[in-house]
Structure 1
Amino acid sequence: MTPPMDNLETTVATPLGSLHVEVAGSGEALVLWPSLLMDADLWRAQVERFAPNYRTVSIDPPGHGRSRSLTREFTFDECARCVVTILDALGIRRAHFVGNSWGAMIGGTLAATYPDRVHTVILMNGTASRASLLQRIEYSALITVARLLGGIRPPLTRSVVRAFLGPTSRATRPDVVRQVLDTATRNEVTSVAFAVRSVVIHRPDQRRLFGAITCPALVVAGREDSTFPLAELQTMARAIPTAELVVIDDAAHLAAAEVPEIVNDLIEQFLTRHRSTEP
């Protein structure tokens, strides 16, 4: 195995193209995969908190941030294989995994399919269920409008903010609103279309698959999340035999950016209780 590096920016060739990866710190590996339309910058506060004691691995997911543009739809298993490929490239045998929304779906897939590569999973603001008819219609419309506008542009940006942020963040956290808008509008429309179809419109029901998860799992819900309301997170938690469910008030779909101190404390407490015993 390659010895860990304190700080590294690299690209890794994966089944879904070259993915941009940022590595900081040393210790047990903590892999971070963000939501649809977001990139690794979603996890800035988590990297700052955990890099002194963990080896944080922040991923720009396929077609987002500094990763290669998407040229087709994909499956969640392909995304999980991307994570395994990144772990192999960095010389990491097993890791803790933190995912938000899309990242939560991939974290569950990874833990169920590659149990020997995962210590724990923290699944935030995600789902294990298919998209509802209404959600499929809404996101199909988003793709159509984004193509007409040439990207995520006004007035579409208002819908994105409302999907990702609840009333508390929209009213009191202008820096988070700005971060969401800045990141979402940088996305290339063709990649967004492939990702939306894969993550939302054609999303599989993963409840049976998640029943195979054996590692410790923390499911985190934002009480103000309108994209995946609490009932959906409860359904996902019930599907995972090892799951604990925590609900965060005054946060919505991007809790890691909205209330980073609360999220960081939850992650730290969970990891402390489930620290790896491997040498």
Structure 2
Amino acid sequence: MMSAIFSALLLLTTSVGAAERWETLPPTPPPVAGEKSGYAEVNGIRLYYAAIGKGSPVVLLHGGLANSDYWGLQVKALASRHEVVVVDSRGHGRSSRDTRPYGYDLMADDVVALLDHLKIRRADIVGWSDGGILGLDLAIRHPDRVGKIFAFAANTVTSGVKEGVEKNPTFAAYIERAGREYRRLSATPKEYDAFVEQISHMWASQPNWTDADLKGIKAQVLVVDGDHDEAIKREHTEYIAAAIPGAGLLILPNASHFAFLQDPALFNAALLQFLDGK
């Protein structure tokens, strides 16, 4: 009896002291084993990609500092009905970069070049953070190459980002983890600090789209975020959905900038519903 009471008290104490789900940073999934993978020589760089599954193509674009492994749980959900393509953005993960400064237009052009390399005329885009920005960039500048856009935790002007996000404990843990992964995957493993500094210049000034830019988007867009995003202001997410004609808005409960890791079941259900109506 005393043992049962002690166990119950221990469980209660653990539960009370445990972090909320939106405060957690679950592990990065293992690398996706693609049916075909390799490097595309595009735009002056070597761009790593992997493709798996059959069906209409979907390209998954990761967030800043990250790599394509972060999408492992979504690849599993999508590959039974889609050709899923994951890619390490220029300078991220396994991909190289050249001397040009980071910019969303340049990185979006890399995606178009990869589509050409893979002989994919048009693809749906799923983007997280910087990847969501790239999805919107493609919709603005390359509308003939994209179908639906699932834009998670994106911003369209720099003021949409919360000040001091890098000091948030969960986000700081992500930055530290991303550094370890960079050193493991990159061909330039000692340059993480320089990489962060260089991409921070992009974040300081981009994106800076106008209302007219967003109103010109013709693609079907679902604007998505977690209700506890550490980085993106809620009012900015709502603004994006209101500015893009016909866009939907979805706020995922008890989740943050890392909702696809924190609640993959709900995230994937929303993703499949949007892409396939299922």
Counterpart of 2:67? 39
What letter matches 1:268 in structure 2?
L
Q: Gaps (5+ residues) in structure 1?
A: 1-5, 143-158, 165-176, 275-279
Post-superposition shift, 1:210? 2.1
3-state SS of paired residue (1:265): helix
* Contact 1:161-1:180 within 8 A present in 2 as well: no
Shift of the 34–133 alpha-carbon distance from structure 1 to 2, 3 Å rule, reads: closer
**Residue matched to 2:213:** 209
Query: 5+ unaligned residues in a row in structure 2: which ranges?
Result: 1-33, 183-191
TM-score, normalization by structure 2: 0.78
Structure 2 residue 220 is matched with structure 1 residue 220: no
Residue deviations 1:198-234, cap 9 Å, x none? 1x11213214322211111001011110210211111
Distance 2:224 2:162 in 1: 24
Q: Select the residue among 226, 231, 235 that pairs with 1:231.
A: 235
Task: Say yes or no: does 1:186 pair with 2:181.
Answer: yes
Distance in structure 2 (CA, Å) of the matches to 1:120 and 1:254: 21
SS of 1:215's partner is coil
Once the two structures are superposed, the pairs formed by residues 90-109 of structure 1 within 5 Å of their partners are 90-109=118-137
Cα distance change on mapping 1:13 and 1:226 into 2, 3 Å = same
Q: 1:84 to 1:224 in 2, by over 3 A?
A: same
Matches within 5 A, 1:235-250: 235-250=239-254
Correspondences of 1:40-79 after superposition (within 5 Å): 40-69=68-97, 71-79=99-107
The 1:182–1:192 alpha-carbon spacing in structure 2 relative to 1, beyond 3 Å, is same
Indicate if the aligned counterparts of 1:223 and 1:229 stay in contact, CA closer than 8 A.
Answer: no
How large is the Cα RMSD of the aligned pairs? 2.3
TM-superposed CA distance for 1:69, in Å, is 4.3
Deviation at 1:86, TM superposition (A): 0.5
Decide whether the 8 Å contact of 2:135 with 2:149 is kept in 1.
yes
Structure 1 length-normalised TM: 0.77
Q: Give the match's secondary structure for 2:218.
A: coil
Matches within 5 A, 1:97-176: 97-131=125-159, 135=163, 138=164, 159=167, 161-163=169-171
C-alpha deviation, 1:74, in angstroms: 2.5
| Stretches of 4+ aligned residues off by more than 4 angstroms | none
- What is the CA deviation profile of residues 15-58 of structure 1, one whole-angstrom value per residue up to 9, with x for unaligned ones? 36211111111111110111111110110001011111101111
Matched, 1:261 2:265: yes
Question: 2:162, 2:232 within 8 Å by CA — same for their partners in 1?
Answer: no
1:131 CA displacement: 3.6
Q: Matched residues, percent identical?
A: 27
Task: Give the residue type in structure 2 aligned to 1:163.
Answer: F
In the TM superposition, what are the counterparts of 1:15-26 in structure 2 within 5 Å?
15=43, 17-26=45-54
- On the 8 A contact 2:160/2:232 being kept in 1, the answer is no
Question: What SS is found at the alignment partner of 1:186?
Answer: helix
Q: What count of residue pairs does the alignment treat as equivalent?
A: 235
